[in-house]
Chains A and B, each alone.
Chain A
Amino acid sequence: DAKTTQPNSMESNEEEPVHLPCNHSTISGTDYIHWYRQLPSQGPEYVIHGLTSNVNNRMASLAIAEDRKSSTLILHRATLRDAAVYYCILRDGNTGFQKLVFGTGTRLLVSP
């Protein structure tokens, strides 16, 4: 499984945008970039995923570099509820079975 590298922690103020980076220099052409987050004492929650183009949904935006070796999860206006651990994960779309391999993620702290 291709690896991802994320900062251990980041801080933000409420209502400000947050950019969470992820490096995946060994990404293959068929790897999807997935983001999940885990709020305290809860199971992981799907946030967004993409392959080549930037993606937007109601939770966040995903910006993917042109060479696909890095990506950025963008929370447009952080709230206290966005304080969580964010995981960037690569998932091979070319195999019949796919599994998520979790790293340690980025712990996002949001201050009022």
Chain B
Amino acid sequence: NAGVTQTPKFRVLKTGQSMTLLCAQDMNHEYMYWYRQDPGMGLRLIHYSVGEGTTAKGEVPDGYNVSRLKKQNFLLGLESAAPSQTSVYFCASTWTANYGYTFGSGTRLTVV
């Protein structure tokens, strides 16, 4: 099915470990986004990309890095995980303002 695929779906990390979350979309969307959602809260934007080879910071970028080497993939990296990064991470993609976003099903990350 066309859409946004996130891997992995679940992960437990120890403090200080690193990992990469992968987001892949097959809709040829230009814009891609990474959000995090903490319990009982709305989504907060971490980083985003307006096209292949571009990335930019959102409202909560500290502790994260991203890359968009291919149009269809947007990677979110945690270089040294901290317990404060325990959250559910969502990836999304879209074309322009006149289109809705398509979200992935999320990655539940726990840092112990």
- Which residues of A approach B to under 8 Å, CB–CB? 32, 34, 36, 42-46, 49, 87, 91-105
Residue contact A46 to B42, C-beta cutoff 8 Å: no
A91-B97 contact in complex given A45-B103, A99-B48, C-beta closer than 8 Å: yes
Residues in A with CB closer than 8 Å to B96 are: 93, 98
A43-B106 contact in complex given A102-B44, A103-B42, A104-B42, C-beta closer than 8 Å: yes
Query: How many angstroms between the C-alpha atoms of A96 and B94 in the bound complex?
Result: 13
Residue contact A100 to B101, C-beta cutoff 8 Å: yes
Query: How many angstroms between the C-alpha atoms of A103 and B41 in the bound complex?
Result: 8
Interface residues on B, range: 20 to 34
Residues in B with CB closer than 8 Å to A93 are: 96-98
Residues in B with CB closer than 8 Å to A44 are: 43, 90, 92, 101, 103
Q: Mark B49-60, 1 if CB is under 8 A from A, else 0.
A: 010000010100
Can you offer 27 A-B residue contacts whose CB atoms are under 8 A?
A32-B97, A32-B98, A36-B100, A43-B90, A43-B105, A43-B106, A44-B43, A44-B90, A44-B103, A45-B103, A87-B42, A92-B97, A93-B98, A94-B97, A95-B97, A97-B31, A97-B56, A98-B96, A98-B97, A99-B33, A99-B45, A99-B48, A99-B58, A100-B33, A100-B45, A101-B45, A102-B43
- Which residues of B approach A to under 8 Å, CB–CB? 31, 33, 35, 41-45, 48, 50, 56, 58, 90, 92, 94, 96-98, 100-106
**In this complex, what residue of A is CB-closest to B106?**
A43
Residues in B with CB closer than 8 Å to A104 are: 41-42
Interface of A: prevailing SS: loop
**In this complex, what residue of A is CB-closest to B4?**
A43
Closest-CB distance, B6 to chain A (whole angstroms): 8
Query: How many angstroms between the C-alpha atoms of A43 and B34 in the bound complex?
Result: 12
